Amino acid sequence: MTPTQPSEPQSPAAGPDALHGPAGRVIAELTGVGVRRHTTDQVILDGIDWTVRSGEHWALLGANGAGKTTVLRLIGAQMFPTVGTVEVLGHRLGRVDVRELRATIGLVSGAQKVPQDATAHTVVLTGATGTVQPLWRTYDGATRERAHELLAELELKELADRPYGVCSGGQRARILIARALMADPSLLLLDEPFNALDLPSREDLIDALHRLAAGRPELATVTVTHHLEELSPAVDRAVLLRDGRVQALGPVAQVLTSERMTACFGRPIEVSRHEGRWLARSGRPSVS
């Protein structure tokens, strides 16, 4: 099937989900990107062209093995493409010290190592140094106060002295977001942040991300998830990946349709939207 790409997000023809006014500055850009596994020569990504601009909030969707994690690692400066170019925050991978670049990108992942006995405030503080353990001598009064402010922004002020290990899953996710914001990033990457959350915790996190988008108009975010129900109403764009190729990209209203989701996942899917929230379910008839 030929990949379908709706109009560019900033195009006037993109509909109500498009940005109003001039397009934001380029935050990340993938051009002709391909990735192969060296040991087996397996194609992981093929011909990826994608641009993320300031103020845009993207969902990155696809079945397991579609290449979502690889794309996130590329724009997070965690790996290099086999072919093509990746530019992040004005720097081309291969021509920049990626360690310095990574320090300017916010990343939230369930795979992050966090000391379970560290308080929420301490965990957030480590975002200033990009370390697992706190480097106490490097944190001045302003840095410590900023950590408190970010906890308050994520509605976690009362958890400042609570050990991370006894916080709920939803609280941990928001603590990690606060940690990622310590570097004041222009790009925030969210790698399945809703994994294993119960319904109340999921909704708290969705609300937090919605507030974050409203309060930080220049921040760009990319969220990897398997479930449309986990998308904040702030998410205005989406990329569908299948077998390492872009199936569709653009404004959510054009991409997250039943037809395109069905083509992407290879089974009938019905998609609906209510008050900015999405719902996807199998279109197969129920078995009585």
Query: Confidence class of residue 13 from pLDDT cuts 50, 70 and 90?
Result: very low
Which own/partner pairs from 263-271 qualify as long-range (CB within 8 Å, at least 24 positions apart)? 263/1, 263/4, 264/61, 264/62, 264/63, 264/240, 265/62, 265/63, 266/63, 266/242, 271/228
pLDDT at position 285 is: 52
**pLDDT tens readout for residues 234-257:** 999 999 999 999 999 999 999 999
Query: Confidence class of residue 20 from pLDDT cuts 50, 70 and 90?
Result: very low
Taking 60 as the threshold, does the pLDDT of residue 183 lie above it?
yes
Taking 50 as the threshold, does the pLDDT of residue 11 lie above it?
no
**pLDDT tens readout for residues 117-160:** 999 999 999 999 989 999 999 999 999 999 999 999 999 999 99
Residues 6+ apart with CB under 8 A from 100: none
What average pLDDT score do residues 96-115 get?
89
* pTM, entire model: 0.86
pLDDT at position 109 is: 87
222/79 Cα distance (integer angstroms): 17
Taking 60 as the threshold, does the pLDDT of residue 74 lie above it?
yes
Taking 70 as the threshold, does the pLDDT of residue 22 lie above it?
no
The whole-chain average pLDDT of the chain stands at 89
1/103 Cα distance (integer angstroms): 39
What average pLDDT score do residues 25-52 get?
93
Query: Confidence class of residue 213 from pLDDT cuts 50, 70 and 90?
Result: very high
Taking 70 as the threshold, does the pLDDT of residue 44 lie above it?
yes
